[in-house]
Structure 1
Amino acid sequence: MGSTFNNMYEFEEDDNLDLKQEIRRYLRYWPWFVFTLVVVLVSAFMYLRYTSPVFETYSKVKILDESDGLELPTSAFIFKRSNINLENEIEILSSYLIMDRVVRRLGLATSFYEEGTIQTSNLMTLPFAFKQIIQSDSIVQEQSYKLKITQNGLDITNVISERNYYFSNYNTQSSEHSLPFQVNIESLDMRPELIDKTYIINFNPIKDVALSLKSKIEVEAIGDQSDLLKLSIKGESKTLSENILNTLMDVFDKDGISDRQLISKRTLDFIDDRFVFLAQELDSIEVGRQDFKQDNNIVDITVDAGLGLEQRAQSDEEVFRIEHQLTLAKLLESSLINDAESDLLPANIGIENSNINVLISDYNSAVIDRDKFLSSGGVNNPLVKQAVEKVEELKANINRSLSTYATQLGASREQLSQRNRKFSGRVAQIPEKEKLLRAIDRQQKIKESLYLLLLQKREEAAINLAITEPSIKVVEFALSGSQPISPKSRIIYAGAFLGGLLIPFGILYLIFMLDTKLHSKEDITKINSKIPVIGEIPDVKAKEDVIFNDPNARTALAESFRILSSNVDYILPVRADNKGRVIYCTSTIKGEGKTYISINLSLALSSINKKVLLIGADLRNPQIHTHIDEDKRKPGLSNYLHDTNFNWRVNFPEIG
């Protein structure tokens, strides 16, 4: 609301926050705060009451940094584990392969639940005889069955296909069916306690269960320099979580043992295979060595070499002796041929032929006798002739003997020369034979050393296979906390209490922030304290009391408009020409009270003997006529604006 006599004020925004006023502003809605607190606290109680608690289970293991067991001095051929890499161990612990083995060992592909009125709880096993018929590997998609124990029997429903099976005698084996399990409650004494209870049996593919378990288990190293790993899992069942972690550690340990045993087994198989080839190669080398010695008449290469040299020396001596005898024989023969007088021959000059030596001795004796006879008798003396003939005969015999002896010596020398050449060739071949024999011996030693080494390795592998050490040491078996980690009652109640305060506060804050209406004069003075507020009009809900008709009325509406009219009359400037003063009432949008204020202010001013002309300037949607029972088509402002000669006094004589 404004007037033509008001000055143009510059609006100044006041940043000062009146905390007391703001608190009072929100406290007016305290029932909503109380109601919200009650609702959220009750909701928190119901949530804690019917939500299954989640417990954290953890265990600790130490990765052992051990060698492959018994280690003998020849460690160059040993299969050794590398240094510990905890990241690798963590990846192996949380691998799909390990999880798959855990799922199969514990049968986690089949899960059981007990259905309550509100809450469904997880079970390790069913409280009655249950036998699974379907193989876990044959489960390709999820299957769910609801088993209800009634007074008359078993009511089993396939949740997915909604097919129903009924067994009146509490035993599914009594009739044929297509269920993947068998149930028997005939012999249970606790059957009355199970009546009207409902159980859910779920079958899931092993792959899905293993992947789900893989995402739930957390493995982390404890410290930077430690070999300890912490395994943790969160679940509703403490027993199930502890069994999972304990089984996981056992599977991981046996997996490591199996790997090392597999190495030992493969080592044994490899060595056994090599034994066959090595034995064949050793036999072949030994047979070849034997044949080589036999073919070359070798007993011992060193002895044979000495014997060959000795035989060669002896052969050389024999050749020298024969040649010496041959020379002596030729000298005697040459002496006999050149000696015309048949003189004495040298005796004992070294001829080793006894016959020749005897003949020479006889010859010399005959020559001496001849010379004796010649000195005592004449040439024609019969004794002399007989002695001369004997000398000549012995000389001829010596010649023949020397010739025969020389021939024999030549033949002997030829034989000895051949023998000597044979010995020389044999001695010359000794280095080559020694080289070949050493090569054969070298191959034999290599194969023998390899055979012995493999035999030693085989013993090592056999011992390691028998005494394979574990790959982990369990520091702490699976333990579950006594208090659930979720939901935590203190946090839930604290959050509920805080939410019970923040929810209504947030809603009210949004309402106040988006509210563009003026509810009191403080809304104006807070923005600009220089703007004068000349009155406050209460919001009257009753439509029949919106018009100020009775000047003597004592209602809140009448009093507020009396105050407004007095303040307006006070602040309106006095005009020297005694002309009328104009009050302009406007607002930004429809429905903000322009017509309501204008009509009642006009009536309030007229009640104190003021002449008032009320002009409705809303040419598009006029509303004044609805409050004063005037015809909407009666001439007014639009006629005057259209025609300046329009006489409005004729239509409103009471004003004129």
Structure 2
Amino acid sequence: MQTNPSSVNKNEQSLNVLDLLMYLTSKWKWFLFSVLICGGIAWYQYASSPKVYFGKTTVIIKDPSNKTSTAGLDRYDNFINKVNVANEILQFRSKKLMREVVQRVHADISYQKKSGLHYDELYTQSPVNVSFPDALPEQYLGFTVTIQDSTTVLLSDFIREEEKSEYQVRLNDTLSLRSGNLVITPTNFFSKAWTNVPIKVRKQPLDGVAARYQGNLGIRQEEDESSILTLSLKDNSPKRAEDILNTLINVYNEEAIKDKNQVAINTANFINDRLIIISQELGDVESDLESFKRDNQVVDIASSASMYMSESQKYNADALELETQLRLARYIKEYLTDPKKETDLIPANTGISDMNIETQITAYNATKLKRDRLISDSSDKNPVVEELNNTLHAMKQSIIRAVDNMIVSINVKRNDAQSREQRAQSRVAAIPTKERQMLSIERQQKIKEALYLFLLNRREENALSQAMADNNARVIDSAESTSFPISPNRNRILLLGVLIGIALPGAAFLLILFMDTRVHSRKDLEKAVSVPYLGEIPLDKSIQKHHDKNAPTVREQGDDIVSEAFRILRTNMAFLSRKDNPVQVITFTSFNVGAGKTFIARNLSMSLAYTKKRVIMIDLDIRKGTLSRHYGHHHVGITNYLSDSTIRVDDIIQRREDFDLIASGTVAPNPAELLMDERLDELIRELRTRYDYIIADNVPVGIIADATIANRIADLTIFVVRAGKLDRRQLPDIEQLYQEKKLKNMALVLNGADPERHGYGYGYGYGYGYGYGYKYGYKNHSK
């Protein structure tokens, strides 16, 4: 019976998985039930889930690197149309963009028709169109529309509480409800086929719908360095998925152009505002220059300076000439008024500019010469001479008055020339100051003029850039959707349901198995104790249903698993029998009540009796008498024999066809003391001479002292472990009993082992050659 530990470990390790599979296979009814339930739930989930379609489109994000432009205008085009693909992807995903798309395609209003267990989205194929003129974007409304005839529809199943549960409404009429007004109009799909067909209408919050489509929108950049994007969308309507994708691209391009034009518009507004200001300032500067030139009588500083210098020189020359004339006039006057020269001729041709005076002087000199000639020929008293003297005197006075007049005139002219000269010189002196003032005004004029021209130029450039603003995205592949739904996937859902149906009980049973601390199989015992293992008694559920659980189930020619198990137990007992100490007295004990000691003792006795052995059973459980009750209670038994010396052995033996029996007898107040009596030893010695096997059904060990006291009579102590009853934490106590030899020749028997739990064939075949029993016992019994 010895085996190689290493080979045992290898076998155990290699067969653990098989045991586990066989254990789970034994629960096939639960697995089948779970698969049916989970599969049914999965099918219902598939049948009730709305269909989801997949739409996609491909666009290229345009920038200066992938679109043509005029070479001379590149700098403006690059500045306005420069884009970043990552930023554009984020813009495609923006809530603002999706909100605008939902508004345009009216995706916040859904029309659904029930088809089986699920609802199909009608979208543009709805026979009626419902508009909500007064509804707020965040408002949620819903009801069912049923077409009654060609002019009326029935509204029912309102989500919000209304005054009435149903409304009869004519098409194209406005219906006033608590939640707002609504108008129902027919579409091109309106026909008699839709009569009495309920259509579920839902007006959902705009932000919620936009957020849902944001989550369903997928954007993939085809290559890291490329600007080609694939936009995809999942929706309950394939047509709506296409419309949303197309509208998204259109809105995106509109926003891109709007953004670009907004920069240009803002720039144009700024330039126009500045042009107005600069134009006004330039006009003010030019007005100042005009006023300055007008006030200073200056057109050109250089020419004015030259003119003023010429005037100064001219007036200076005039003043000098007049000064000369004045001096000549004064000289003539002095000459005329000099008494010494009263009779002298007046100098003529002196350079006096007044020809009248020169003529008078000439006439005076001629008259003077004529008088002088007359005087030489006559005397002073000559009347002619006197007349000439008077004439000369008058002429001289006239010349003097003329010279005085000329002096006055020359003084006036000289003073005027001098004043003019001074004014010209003052003007020449004021030229630098005026030139500086004029240069300051002209500088302001040039600055304002240059700025004005610059702004005019930028306005034209900005207008040109605005005209060149282009779409950011160009569609490569137009939006298209699948004609078949991508969700729900029937095979996947059903497979998942089946897998869950398998996994749930599997996990539950494995959890129960791993959390279970009870002893269930031979392996549990062999791993923890070194007590010899005689065998295990499997639990035959079919027999237990129709027989008493303690009734004998072993049959002489039986091929069931229980009969074969007791044959193996009977055979293995022989290995513990030695010539010097044969196994004749066998006692049964356990740790707990209900381990099946009585059942095993009775069936072992029956099995031994089938081999033509003389067998007697003794009920040593004198406190309860469990064995005795199964065969009819007898007042005379072991307690009577131990307490009354007059009772003989034959008085307490009950004769039977298969094996004999000694009952427990009358319940005694001192069972422990009775079992310590020597009469028990005498009884066993007597029975050894009469019987081949003496089977004693004892009480559990450790609870009371009876089992230990009566164990002195035993040749073999079979410790019964009930599968599923004994905690594995008690196995060290069994090992301690064996090591301390408190029970004589102790061996283990596992009772109630479930052949379906760990594999009956393996449990019996290993080490004991149970192949025969499996082939002709368990297999045939299973039939």
Bin for the TM-score computed over the shorter chain:
0.7 to 0.9
Distance 1:550 1:222 in 2: 78
- The higher-RCO structure (CA 8 Å, 6+ apart) is 1
Question: C-alpha displacement at 1:605, in angstroms?
Answer: 7.4
**Does 234-243 or 427-436 show the bigger shift?**
427-436
Describe how 1:275-294 pairs up with structure 2 within 5 A: 280-281=280-281, 283-294=283-294
Distance 2:148 2:399 in 1: 149
Q: Which amino acid aligns with 2:58?
A: K
Paired position in structure 2 for 1:586: 590
Describe how 1:486-635 pairs up with structure 2 within 5 A: 486-489=487-490, 491-492=492-493, 495=496, 506=507, 509-510=510-511, 512-514=513-515, 521=522, 527=527, 532-540=532-540, 541-542=543-544, 543-544=547-548, 546-548=550-552, 560-561=565-566, 564-565=569-570, 567-568=572-573, 571-572=576-577, 583=587, 585-587=589-591, 591-598=594-601, 600=603, 608-609=613-614, 614-616=619-621, 627=630, 629=633, 635=667
Describe how 1:66-465 pairs up with structure 2 within 5 A: 80-81=79-80, 83-125=82-124, 127-132=126-131, 134-135=132-133, 137-138=135-136, 140-149=138-147, 154-160=153-159, 161=161, 163-165=164-166, 167=168, 171=170, 178=177, 180-183=181-184, 190-191=191-192, 193-266=193-266, 280-281=280-281, 283-326=283-326, 352=353, 409-455=410-456
Question: C-alpha displacement at 1:201, in angstroms?
Answer: 0.7
CA distance 1:444–1:113, shift in 2 (3 Å): same
Paired position in structure 1 for 2:13: 16
Question: C-alpha displacement at 1:232, in angstroms?
Answer: 1.9
SS in structure 2 of the partner of residue 225 of structure 1? coil
Distance 1:503 1:98 in 2: 45
Distance 1:201 1:268 in 2: 48
Question: C-alpha displacement at 1:536, in angstroms?
Answer: 3.4
Q: Which amino acid aligns with 1:212?
A: R
CA distance 1:10–1:459, shift in 2 (3 Å): closer
How far does the alpha carbon of each residue in 1:512-547 deviate from its partner, in whole angstroms, 9 at most, with x for none? 54555666656656x489764323324354343734
Question: C-alpha displacement at 1:310, in angstroms?
Answer: 0.7
- Is contact 1:171–1:186 with CA below 8 Å preserved after alignment? no
2:643 paired with 1:639: no
Distance 2:211 2:182 in 1: 24
Q: Percent of aligned pairs with the same residue? A: 25
CA distance 1:399–1:532, shift in 2 (3 Å): same
Q: Which amino acid aligns with 2:94?
A: S
Distance 2:554 2:402 in 1: 200
CA distance 1:250–1:567, shift in 2 (3 Å): closer
Distance 1:58 1:114 in 2: 25
How far does the alpha carbon of each residue in 1:199-229 deviate from its partner, in whole angstroms, 9 at most, with x for none? 1011223233233333332344443333333
Distance 1:287 1:159 in 2: 77
Paired position in structure 2 for 1:65: 63
SS in structure 1 of the partner of residue 317 of structure 2? helix
Q: Which amino acid aligns with 2:550?
A: V
Distance 1:423 1:452 in 2: 40
**Does 24-33 or 535-544 show the bigger shift?**
24-33
Distance 2:565 2:70 in 1: 108
CA distance 1:597–1:77, shift in 2 (3 Å): closer
Distance 1:10 1:320 in 2: 151
Question: C-alpha displacement at 1:101, in angstroms?
Answer: 1.9
Distance 1:110 1:558 in 2: 76
CA distance 1:270–1:21, shift in 2 (3 Å): closer
- Is contact 1:37–1:496 with CA below 8 Å preserved after alignment? yes
- Is contact 1:585–1:598 with CA below 8 Å preserved after alignment? no
CA distance 1:634–1:553, shift in 2 (3 Å): farther
SS in structure 2 of the partner of residue 477 of structure 1? strand
Distance 2:125 2:187 in 1: 15
Paired position in structure 2 for 1:3: none
**Does 46-55 or 549-558 show the bigger shift?**
549-558
Question: C-alpha displacement at 1:270, in angstroms?
Answer: 5.2
SS in structure 2 of the partner of residue 62 of structure 1? strand
- Is contact 1:534–1:567 with CA below 8 Å preserved after alignment? yes
Question: C-alpha displacement at 1:11, in angstroms?
Answer: 14
Distance 1:72 1:337 in 2: 99
How far does the alpha carbon of each residue in 1:608-641 deviate from its partner, in whole angstroms, 9 at most, with x for none? 4567655449x9x9966654647999556x8354
Question: C-alpha displacement at 1:143, in angstroms?
Answer: 1.8
Distance 1:30 1:509 in 2: 14
SS in structure 2 of the partner of residue 138 of structure 1? coil
How far does the alpha carbon of each residue in 1:446-502 deviate from its partner, in whole angstroms, 9 at most, with x for none? 445555555555556666667753343222321223554333455456656655665
Q: Which amino acid aligns with 1:16?
A: Q
| Unmatched 5+ stretches in structure 2 | 636-663, 687-783
Question: C-alpha displacement at 1:308, in angstroms?
Answer: 1.3
Distance 1:263 1:275 in 2: 18
CA distance 1:120–1:186, shift in 2 (3 Å): closer
Question: C-alpha displacement at 1:365, in angstroms?
Answer: 9.5
- Is contact 1:54–1:236 with CA below 8 Å preserved after alignment? yes
CA distance 1:26–1:123, shift in 2 (3 Å): same
SS in structure 1 of the partner of residue 113 of structure 2? strand
**Does 327-336 or 418-427 show the bigger shift?**
327-336
- Is contact 2:301–2:435 with CA below 8 Å preserved after alignment? yes
How far does the alpha carbon of each residue in 1:19-78 deviate from its partner, in whole angstroms, 9 at most, with x for none? 6666556556667767777777777666656644322212233333369x9999999999
Paired position in structure 1 for 2:759: none
SS in structure 2 of the partner of residue 311 of structure 1? helix
SS in structure 1 of the partner of residue 417 of structure 2? helix
CA distance 1:549–1:471, shift in 2 (3 Å): closer
| Unmatched 5+ stretches in structure 1 | 1-5
Q: Which amino acid aligns with 1:585?
A: T
CA distance 1:503–1:129, shift in 2 (3 Å): closer
- Is contact 1:145–1:200 with CA below 8 Å preserved after alignment? yes
CA distance 1:174–1:586, shift in 2 (3 Å): same
How far does the alpha carbon of each residue in 1:101-141 deviate from its partner, in whole angstroms, 9 at most, with x for none? 22222222221100133121111135424342x32643653
Question: C-alpha displacement at 1:251, in angstroms?
Answer: 1.7
- Is contact 2:51–2:236 with CA below 8 Å preserved after alignment? yes
Q: Which amino acid aligns with 1:125?
A: T
- Is contact 2:577–2:583 with CA below 8 Å preserved after alignment? no
Paired position in structure 2 for 1:56: 54
How far does the alpha carbon of each residue in 1:206-265 deviate from its partner, in whole angstroms, 9 at most, with x for none? 233233333332344443333333322111211011011111111222223334444555
Distance 2:243 2:334 in 1: 124
Q: TM-score, length-normalised on structure 2?
A: 0.63
